[in-house]
Amino acid sequence: MRTWLALCFLTTAWGHDAPAQVTVHMHLRAADGAMRMLVRVPLEAVRDVDFPAIEGGYLDVERLAPLLGGLAKTWVADPISLFESGALTSPPRIVSTQISMESDRSFASFEQADNHLRAPLPANSEKLFWKQVFFDVALEFSIRDAGAQFAIKPAFAGLGERVNTVLHFGPRTFLLSGEQEAFPLEPRWWQASWLFVRMGFVHILEGTDHLLFLLCLVIPVRRIRALVWVVTAFTAAHSLTLIASALEFAPNGLWFPPLVEMLIAVSIAFMAVANIVGWPGHRSWMLAFGFGLIHGFGFSFALRESMQFAGGHLTAALLSFNAGVELGQLFALALMAPAVALLFRYAVEPRIGGAVLSALVAHTAWHWMWERGALVERYSVPLPEFTLLLMLKLVLAGMAGWAVFWFVRRKKQGEHPMS
């Protein structure tokens, strides 16, 4: 009985969950009549299969070999969509499969990976463990013209909890995270422009901090025509720093992104306090321009990972992203301004409603400041004599002093601070 149980243990597979982190490597090369695609995934990312084992718990490659074609179709071929001149190509043909040791470096280039995939499978005597090997697959998509415009959608998110894809196509390398929409491998200028317009538009609508900053601009003004000029000043300012960052004129230390995120929170808190104490609405463009310089660096961090999709059209991508940001801001204002105006007209008095909304925004930004400030302190920030925490306290003290100054001044003039 014990012998039978031991044999069952040694010859059955290991059920397993999705791995926490998965990296997929891909090489693409277009030739006459075919797009050849070489893909490497960790074997542990291939699930719903019983990996056969030999004595000692090692992978039984000989028994696994007949299953590799089906696994390649389900886990590698089916998740990939290739488009030629906008049309979806037919499903790929599985050319070959391979099991590779974790130390194998053949995917450093297309030629090495292609040669490796043509080699025989490793023997059982090599004693491979399923969590320490790669599953390599060679695919071929039928195409009409190797010089056509190709787009690809690698949908490998199901392989693990966090999936990164490294895709090589000619001289270009794409670093993709999570699920991706189809993107052109060699975009034309108009494709790059449209892609980055959408990115800028979506980035604004998904950025809570930027939307709160816009809300702070809306509360004291509430007139679309006046707001357009304020937002244009904001756009002009962030365009300067965004372009400067794209051209690598900004600091590249690890401390810089969290520092900028903290300053963005400071800008939101400042604008909220300004609304409460009664900063004149017609001067909002000055604050918008000043803080726009900071927000531009924040936009550049989101843009940095996306510049790989611009191809050779850096200028078009930058201008298009800015245009998308401006369109997103105008769209947000078109919704915010009427909503705030209706709220102040029918639900609450403007000065009370403005103070309450601004206080809520200030409260949120306050917590962001401290959270992001604590993150910055983990890095070695090259500031000569002051620690970051001291600088943050000085900024907050300055904001408080400025608020008191404006409040007292408006009181002396006989005006309500929120009027």
Nearest to 23 by CA among 167, 183, 131: 167
Mean pLDDT, the chain, whole residue set:
83
Q: Is 163 left (phi over 0), alpha (psi -120 to 50) or beta?
A: beta
Task: Convert the pLDDT of each residue in 280-321 to its tens digit.
Answer: 555 667 778 888 888 888 888 878 778 888 888 888 888 899
For the chain, percent of residues with pLDDT exceeding 70 = 85
Q: Residue 26's pLDDT is what?
A: 96
Q: What value does the mean pLDDT take over residues 199-214?
A: 90
pLDDT-derived band of residue 11, with 50, 70 and 90 as boundaries? very low
Domain boundaries, the chain: 14-186, 191-412
Distances (CA, A) of 176 to 2, 44, 152, 162: 49, 20, 12, 11
Task: Convert the pLDDT of each residue in 107-161 to its tens digit.
Answer: 999 999 999 999 999 999 889 998 899 999 999 999 999 889 999 999 998 899 9
Distances (CA, A) of 240 to 73, 204, 260, 289, 314: 48, 17, 15, 10, 15
Strands 80-84 and 34-42: unpaired
Q: Residue 252's pLDDT is what?
A: 77
Both tokens assigned to 23: 């990296």
Q: Residue 406's pLDDT is what?
A: 53
pTM of the model: 0.71
Of the given ranges (325-339, 344-358, 395-409), which has the lowest mean pLDDT?
395-409
Query: Using CA atoms, how far apart are residues 310 and 38, in angstroms rounded to an integer?
Result: 24
Q: What value does the mean pLDDT take over residues 410-418?
A: 53
Query: Using CA atoms, how far apart are residues 190 and 371, in angstroms rounded to an integer?
Result: 40
Q: What value does the mean pLDDT take over residues 203-231?
A: 84
pLDDT-derived band of residue 16, with 50, 70 and 90 as boundaries? low
Task: Convert the pLDDT of each residue in 64-75 to its tens digit.
Answer: 999 999 999 999
Q: What value does the mean pLDDT take over residues 334-355?
A: 87
Query: Using CA atoms, how far apart are residues 170 and 26, in angstroms rounded to an integer?
Result: 12
Query: Using CA atoms, how far apart are residues 276 and 37, in angstroms rounded to an integer?
Result: 60
Range from 103-112, 245-254, 285-294, 383-392 that averages highest in pLDDT: 103-112
Q: Residue 281's pLDDT is what?
A: 52
